Structure 1
Amino acid sequence: MERNSAELSRSEFDSCAAPPRAIRCGRRNFEASEIRSPHGFRIGRRRACKPDCRSGSAAARHHRRVGGLIRNRRRRFRRWQPGSGRGAQPPRAGILGEADSLRAAHGKFPRRGGDFCQGGGRLPGSRRNGVGEESAPIIWRSENARRSRPARETGARQWLGRHRAHDGADSSVARGTESRPSGGPRRRREVRLLAPAAWVFRVGVSFRSAAYRRRWLKTHHLHRPVISVGNLTVGGTGKTPFVAYLAERLLSRGRKPAILTRGYRRERGTEIIFIEPARRRAPDPRAVGDEPAMLARQLPDVPIVVSADRYRAGLAAEKRFEVDTHILDDGFQHLRLARTLDIVLLDAMENYDAGLLPAGRLREPLSELARAHVIVLARTLASSGRPGVDGDTQRLAAAERIESIARRWAPQAQVFRAETELAGLRTVFEGVRKDAADFVNLPSFAFSGIGNSQAFFQDLRRWGFHLVGQKVFSDHHRYAPKELGGLKESARALGAEAMLTTDKDAMNLFGIEPCGLPILACSISMRLSEQEKFEEALFCGLGSVPVKT
């Protein structure tokens, strides 16, 4: 036989879990009782209607707002959590973190008629014990009980307070079939916190650019034309492969180019290092830097000068090697050296709305594209909508959008599209060239420490490699033997039979013993869709069109 809430005894009322929202049952005649934790602390008060309430036999119902009928002192109870399988309140809900152990009632109080403890035949907060019987409402939950919560319940609570589900996506080694989210609430909070620093950085960059433009700061000129290759972000657009492509184009037209580079993270940072043209030259990457060492192996006939002072390096190259063209690697922001032609690479997969450093990846505002003479959109093949690549339509729209941005900020510049191609494979430690077709169907583990590792992984999938896992390191990362051993263990655990990396990472593996699993370095080249038109713009920008020899 059903009873109204007004007919409940005091002991029956106290056996139910504390309601986290206010209950309205008339205007007056309420009977209060205290709520205490298992440790004896008084954590609140509870009011119930007396049997002689003015509302008579009317059932209790919800108040539309959290009212004062439940005295919510020191935020012991935070919010009403609907459903019968939800988790505990956040730790900040109570003093000494006790609310993390208190479980509020999750059953809804009926609006009309019936017992307020009936939530579909079950008490609020009660659970079935697996035999068809119901256990008592959970008022206290120990720490061990919270840790042993089933996975399905943990997943349902992943966005409640600080209780988040920690799954495999937080691991440093990701499986090849998984994809991580690129943003989220945490990233947005970081951007908001770093927004003032990004504004200060923008002011400094704009003032520096204006100082060189107004000739407050001196710009130095070399005797030979200078071609600058750079970008707007902190790496990852394919500058080094494009520098190699540009040097090959100049050599094919009878030019004698030299490459001026900084040599990031080299040991001797203040000296000028000359890498003489020679066959099979293999300079130490630790002394000259990973990118100059890679270019020296790819371009044996091109002299390379490594120095932070590119003007001084250019003068030395003109005197020592009698070059007629300078290629300034990563020189768009190096305004101290005047250039004849400014080539800027924009990654079609980059988000240029993220902002400037440190909030985003931009080193300069998009308005500085006005200095560029030629703009090359890199990785457009991954954005061309071809099958086999996830999100083809979105990437195609992104490429079109970035091209419109380039034409907006640099209307005078010529825009070209480039594609990344796999030039070949070679073993890292032996230097033996391998056929890519022999490793396409093998399960492989990829790792890289470049500016945009995710783009490299997507290129590998586009080239047909089967990735079972991947690992990302910081740009210009120098690997230790222990790290290489950890990569081997991760690859073997995922069933990989080979490991793939970039030519740049292969330079940073210098001096490490083989780990027992074959490590292959991918040689990446650039191919422009309108190569003849680009060469015409290149040599017209240099001031002369030499006869092809």
Structure 2
Amino acid sequence: MRSASAPRRSRWPAPQAGPPGLRDAVRRRQHRRRRGTAGPARVPRRARGRHFGPARPGAPSPGELRPRRERGPRRRAPGGAVEPSRVDERAGGGALGRPGARRPRRAAGGVRRLRSRLRGRQPGAARRPQRARAGRPRKAGPVRSPHGQFPGRGRGLDQRRRRLRGGRWSGSRRSGGAPPGRPGRLPGRLGHGAAGRRDEPRRAREDPGDARRRPGARRDAGSQGRAHVIGQEIFDTPAAGPFLALPAIAYRAVVGLRNALYDSGRLRAHRLPCRVISIGNLTLGGTGKSPLTSWVASLLRESGYRVGVVSRGYGRTGTRSVLLVSDGKTILAEPRHAGDEPYLIARDNPAVPVAVGADRVEAARLLLRAADPEVILLDDGFQHRRVARDIDLLLVDGRDPWGNGRMLPRGPLREPIDSMARADACILTRSDGQCPASALAALERYNPGAALFHCRLVPRAFVGPDGESIGPASLKGFAAYAFSGIARPERFEDDLRSLGIRLAGSRRFSDHHRYRGGDLEQVAREARLRGADVLVTTEKDLVRIVETPESSPPLYALAIQVSFSGGPGLQPWLLGRMASLRPAGGR
């Protein structure tokens, strides 16, 4: 230990000669490190060995500190920062060859400039070090607001410069629109739950049919993309009205002219050598035509008639020519070639031959050659007037008979309401025994002599892919993920809720959708995320599913059947009309 009285040895030897002012300047440079500054500056090459003449009048002495900052060559301080050397090239240096003294180091408060030639932190929108010659910072403008707040969802951004720092280009989609879809995520409004508050997990989506649903919450309308379903509510949107008005007028004129030509006999209906019963409706699908066709075929078969079914075969792949789906003994076509509805009719009625084709006349003739039926049922044949029929059965939805009352494409009507005058009987489906006022008024106005029946479409069982069936109450209390590709998917979901099944989520595809492996993988993934115990679909969708993905929840299809209540029903009336008809004919 050195005693306190011992003199501290200097790092630099003190000069032995020189004026008093020079010795003071040298001493100040020797002990500059104690005040937090860098070590002594080196003498520039251009100042070494140079003879300095006498100072000019008024010029400072060689060792005197200059009051004004002068820039000169840069040097690197021991701390790593680069600062300019305070060398006065115009004045003479000291006796030791050291030019003018340096400016004392400032207190910390700014970012020191590094060797990478970065400019210090600047005020303005950038708020970060800039490279050399970066120019002045940009002013607060369309990219960032003056108060440091970004506009919500890109509102107010300049269309030419819509790139935020660290973000992606957003010019590919409209400002404020939905974010683009991500791989592995279901499109549309079936996200992974609503975002909660900070430090809270995402909230699970509630069942749209749950009584605990938030007030004003919207029902789950499906997903976006090619699997998105545009429901009949699009007919009532104000934006669609101007674009659909003229096509609706043209369609109504064409349908009216065609019906007038058939009514007057100018267009001839083909008569078949058998009795023909047509089953159809006036609106788009969802009234239960195929279940009723299967029920009537079973009824007539059990009553001793040889029955055949002719269908259009919507959604089938391959050729548009006629095809024999079943000859009454064996099913000859796969669902994708036959169509889901004709295939279901043939499967549920093994002894009934079924033919499909866009030309119903040719399909009926093929059926006559293959099986020689006594009665042919036209599935969805109310508008197909090329085939003369003996009985016309018109199905009307008991909950929503005519929709908004407009023709396609502005509404769900395929024909004007007055076309119901051709019907021999009107059947209200999904009815509780009461006729809606609009349907009753139309029936009394256009066809007061038609018979009126009420029927319900009730769940019959749950069917698995292997054909195993369980009772309709077997899944009560289970959490199910529902997906379907039918005309009215909301009715299918209502049927599931009526059975006590809790919907963890739903996915709606277009009518007669052709399922691919990717669709089912996304459905299974979303079902697992929602915590669903089972997957539930319709019978029509089940026949279009070739294979279910691995690690998927168990899959079941809801099978429905027709049930008549409140009176004798359709059976005695139909059998009585069949007995009164002549063997072959029609109108």
Q: TM-score range by the shorter chain?
A: 0.5 to 0.7
Among candidates 208, 213, 222, match of residue 177 of structure 1: 208
Q: 3-state DSSP class of the match of 1:188?
A: coil
Is 1:247 paired with 2:247? no
Among candidates 294, 311, 317, match of residue 261 of structure 1: 311
TM-superposed CA distance for 1:192, in Å, is 3.6
2:500 corresponding residue in structure 1: 464
- CA deviations over 1:401-450 (Å, ceiling 9, x no partner): 3333333332221111110111111112x222223333111011111111
**Root mean square deviation of aligned Cα:** 3.2
1:380 corresponding residue in structure 2: 431
2:31 corresponding residue in structure 1: none
- CA deviations over 1:285-335 (Å, ceiling 9, x no partner): 111111111111111111111122222222232333121101000100101
Q: 3-state DSSP class of the match of 2:377?
A: strand
Following the alignment from structure 2 to structure 1, what is the Cα–Cα distance between the partners of residues 379 and 292?
10
1:224 corresponding residue in structure 2: 274
TM-superposed CA distance for 1:193, in Å, is 2.7
Following the alignment from structure 1 to structure 2, what is the Cα–Cα distance between the partners of residues 363 and 238?
16
TM-superposed CA distance for 1:273, in Å, is 1.9
For the 8 Å contact 2:515–2:544, the answer to whether it is kept is yes
TM-superposed CA distance for 1:494, in Å, is 1.6
What is the 5 A alignment of 1:270-289? 270-277=320-327, 281=331, 283-289=333-339
For the 8 Å contact 1:176–1:467, the answer to whether it is kept is yes
TM-superposed CA distance for 1:543, in Å, is 4.4
What is the 5 A alignment of 1:443-522? 443-511=479-547, 513=549, 516-522=552-558
Aligned in 2, Cα 1:445/1:540: closer, same or farther, shift over 3 Å?
same
- CA deviations over 1:150-189 (Å, ceiling 9, x no partner): xxxxxxxxxxxx97999x9961578532643975998122
Following the alignment from structure 1 to structure 2, what is the Cα–Cα distance between the partners of residues 545 and 234?
31
Q: 3-state DSSP class of the match of 2:438?
A: helix
Following the alignment from structure 1 to structure 2, what is the Cα–Cα distance between the partners of residues 424 and 318?
34
What is the 5 A alignment of 1:332-347? 332-347=382-397
Aligned in 2, Cα 1:187/1:169: closer, same or farther, shift over 3 Å?
farther
Following the alignment from structure 1 to structure 2, what is the Cα–Cα distance between the partners of residues 449 and 296?
20
2:346 counterpart letter in structure 1: A
Q: 3-state DSSP class of the match of 1:247?
A: helix
Among candidates 457, 461, 467, match of residue 420 of structure 1: 457
Following the alignment from structure 1 to structure 2, what is the Cα–Cα distance between the partners of residues 208 and 528?
34
What is the 5 A alignment of 1:331-370? 331-350=381-400, 351-370=402-421
Aligned in 2, Cα 1:280/1:467: closer, same or farther, shift over 3 Å?
farther
1:443 counterpart letter in structure 2: A
For the 8 Å contact 2:234–2:240, the answer to whether it is kept is no
Which stretch shifts more, 464-473 or 172-181?
Answer: 172-181
Which stretch shifts more, 516-525 or 269-278?
Answer: 269-278
- CA deviations over 1:359-380 (Å, ceiling 9, x no partner): 1111111111111111111111
Following the alignment from structure 1 to structure 2, what is the Cα–Cα distance between the partners of residues 444 and 405?
40
1:308 counterpart letter in structure 2: A
1:119 corresponding residue in structure 2: none
Q: 3-state DSSP class of the match of 2:520?
A: helix
TM-superposed CA distance for 1:279, in Å, is 6.4
TM-superposed CA distance for 1:148, in Å, is 9.8
Report how many residues are paired: 384
TM-superposed CA distance for 1:257, in Å, is 0.7
For the 8 Å contact 2:404–2:412, the answer to whether it is kept is no
1:213 corresponding residue in structure 2: 263
Quick check: which has more Rg, 1 or 2? 2
TM-superposed CA distance for 1:478, in Å, is 0.6
2:568 corresponding residue in structure 1: 532
TM-superposed CA distance for 1:542, in Å, is 2.7
Q: 3-state DSSP class of the match of 1:331?
A: coil
1:410 counterpart letter in structure 2: N
Q: 3-state DSSP class of the match of 1:333?
A: coil
Structure 2 unaligned segments of length 5 or more: list them: 1-140, 156-174, 180-185, 192-204, 210-217, 222-231, 583-587
TM-superposed CA distance for 1:343, in Å, is 0.6
TM-score normalised to structure 2 length = 0.60
Following the alignment from structure 1 to structure 2, what is the Cα–Cα distance between the partners of residues 450 and 518?
21
Aligned in 2, Cα 1:274/1:496: closer, same or farther, shift over 3 Å?
same
2:416 counterpart letter in structure 1: P
Following the alignment from structure 2 to structure 1, what is the Cα–Cα distance between the partners of residues 332 and 504?
32
What is the 5 A alignment of 1:11-26? none
Aligned in 2, Cα 1:327/1:278: closer, same or farther, shift over 3 Å?
closer
- CA deviations over 1:329-361 (Å, ceiling 9, x no partner): 010010111100011111123353241111111
TM-superposed CA distance for 1:217, in Å, is 1.4
2:362 corresponding residue in structure 1: 312
Aligned in 2, Cα 1:269/1:141: closer, same or farther, shift over 3 Å?
farther
TM-superposed CA distance for 1:509, in Å, is 0.8
2:470 corresponding residue in structure 1: 434
Is 1:144 paired with 2:146? no
Structure 1 unaligned segments of length 5 or more: list them: 1-99, 103-137, 150-161, 385-395
For the 8 Å contact 1:282–1:296, the answer to whether it is kept is no
For the 8 Å contact 1:446–1:501, the answer to whether it is kept is yes
Q: % of aligned pairs identical?
A: 30
1:286 counterpart letter in structure 2: R
Following the alignment from structure 1 to structure 2, what is the Cα–Cα distance between the partners of residues 321 and 248?
16
Following the alignment from structure 2 to structure 1, what is the Cα–Cα distance between the partners of residues 551 and 386?
45
For the 8 Å contact 1:261–1:307, the answer to whether it is kept is yes
Following the alignment from structure 2 to structure 1, what is the Cα–Cα distance between the partners of residues 248 and 502?
39
- CA deviations over 1:245-284 (Å, ceiling 9, x no partner): 1111111211111001121232333333223355674741
Aligned in 2, Cα 1:355/1:272: closer, same or farther, shift over 3 Å?
same
TM-superposed CA distance for 1:539, in Å, is 2.7
Following the alignment from structure 1 to structure 2, what is the Cα–Cα distance between the partners of residues 273 and 324?
20
Aligned in 2, Cα 1:210/1:412: closer, same or farther, shift over 3 Å?
same
For the 8 Å contact 2:291–2:562, the answer to whether it is kept is yes
Q: 3-state DSSP class of the match of 2:239?
A: helix
1:64 corresponding residue in structure 2: none
Is 1:188 paired with 2:238? yes
Structure having the larger proportion of residues in helix? 1
For the 8 Å contact 1:285–1:510, the answer to whether it is kept is no
Q: 3-state DSSP class of the match of 2:388?
A: coil
1:407 corresponding residue in structure 2: 444
Aligned in 2, Cα 1:226/1:530: closer, same or farther, shift over 3 Å?
farther
TM-superposed CA distance for 1:228, in Å, is 0.3
Following the alignment from structure 2 to structure 1, what is the Cα–Cα distance between the partners of residues 491 and 239?
25
Q: 3-state DSSP class of the match of 1:240?
A: helix
Q: 3-state DSSP class of the match of 1:295?
A: helix
Following the alignment from structure 2 to structure 1, what is the Cα–Cα distance between the partners of residues 319 and 566?
39
Following the alignment from structure 2 to structure 1, what is the Cα–Cα distance between the partners of residues 551 and 300?
40
